[in-house]
Amino acid sequence: MNTPVFLPFYHTVSDENLPHILNYPYRNVAQFEKELDFFLKYFKPVSLEELASENYSGKKVFHLSFDDGLRECADVIAPILLKKGIPATFFLNSAFIDNRALFHKYKASLILSRLRENPDNETEEFLANNNLDGNKILTSGISQIDILNRAAEKLKIDFSDFLKNQQPYLTSGQVKKLFSNGFSIGAHSHTHPEFWKISPEKQIEEVRESMSVIESLVKPKVRAFSFPFTDSGVPVQVLETIHNEKICDFTFGTAGVKSDSLDFHLQRYPAEQSGDFVQNLKGEFVYYQLRKW
């Protein structure tokens, strides 16, 4: 692909307060619909299959995607997309499907939400001793998950109960229904680690395991993988191995509107940013033009 296709991505959309999501500013329904209408004003939506085949005849197109496989993808987002005729890809973490486990960032958000409501000196001191006091807890990595679990125990937060009662993630049945409704399903790693902190061998293992689960669940026409957080820190050799060993067909990063040196590796634009949506987007396209000089 000589010019980058516009690839905006989100995580969730909700009018409700989601205590497990403090690590990014998710949109409410009205905001999301307004942003979709802006996309539709300037771009034609294409499916993952059309994107892969470059079947869009030089038009200004966009492909929408969503990371983490959250429940709102089925309950809130899909009905809006179907109404507006917008195809999309939902990238899932295989360890979290059917609410079997909880992303460490969401654990951190639940702990911080509880502390904001009911401060606890013992827990706050424990977190401070581990350099995770205040909002720093939202920077915690998967290697600090034991610290998060211990903090949750001190606050009597039961993550298993949260998963059972709130069901923040998609079920296998919901994933299959999304697929049957024409949406694409991709992988987003198994456990959502920070890839730049794990070995190349572990990076490939995370991709392979998550893609295997997705392929067994829905048999996607285009096998796609989006890197969690960022593709920064993923060696080119890993990307080439993933492609050459046919683990998946396309991989996606999060570097914004940008061409990549590998034609099977595409960059997406993180739409969930603070500030003015339109100005952020205009700034991104101006930055893309400047990078070409």
* Nearest by Cα to 175 from 224, 215, 209: 215
The pLDDT score that the predictor gives to residue 23 is 81
Nearest to 148 by CA among 130, 135, 160, 166: 130
The SS3 assignment for 256 reads: coil
Identity of the residue numbered 117 = E
**pLDDT at position 1, please?**
45
Which pLDDT score is estimated for 243? 95
Superfamily per CATH, domain 8-100+168-291: Glycoside hydrolase/deacetylase (3.20.20.370)
pLDDT reported for residue 3:
57
What pLDDT sits at residue 168? 98
Q: Tell me, what's the pLDDT at 260?
A: 84
What lies within 8 Å, CB to CB, of 91 at 6+ separation is: 65, 66, 67, 68, 69, 185, 186, 187, 188, 224, 225, 226, 252
Report pLDDT for 59: 80
Pull the structure tokens for residue 221. 């026409």
Is the pTM for the entire model greater than 0.85?
A: yes
- DSSP label at residue 205: H
DSSP labels, 74-143: IIIIHHHHHHHT--EEEEE-TTTGGG-S--HHHHHHHHHHHHHHS--HHHHHHHHHTT--GGGGGG--GG
Quick check: helix, strand or coil at residue 226? Answer: strand
Tokens of 281: 């987007």
Q: Kindly tell me the burial class for residue 268, based on how many C-beta atoms sit within 10 Å of its own C-beta (0-12, 13-18, 19 or more).
A: buried
Query: In this structure, what token pair is assigned to residue 233?
Result: 């820190």
Helix (H) or strand (E) holding 239: helix 236-244
Mean pLDDT (10-residue bins), the chain, 293 residues: 80 97 93 98 96 82 98 99 99 99 98 97 98 96 98 98 98 99 98 97 98 98 97 96 97 92 94 94 87 66
Instruction: Give the pLDDT confidence score for residue 292 in this predicted structure.
Output: 66
What is the domain partition of the chain in residue ranges? 8-100+168-291, 104-165
Secondary structure in 3-state letters for 21-58? CCCCCCECHHHHHHHHHHHHHHCEECCHHHHHHCCCCC
Task: Classify the C-alpha dihedral 171-175-178-183 as positive or negative.
Answer: positive
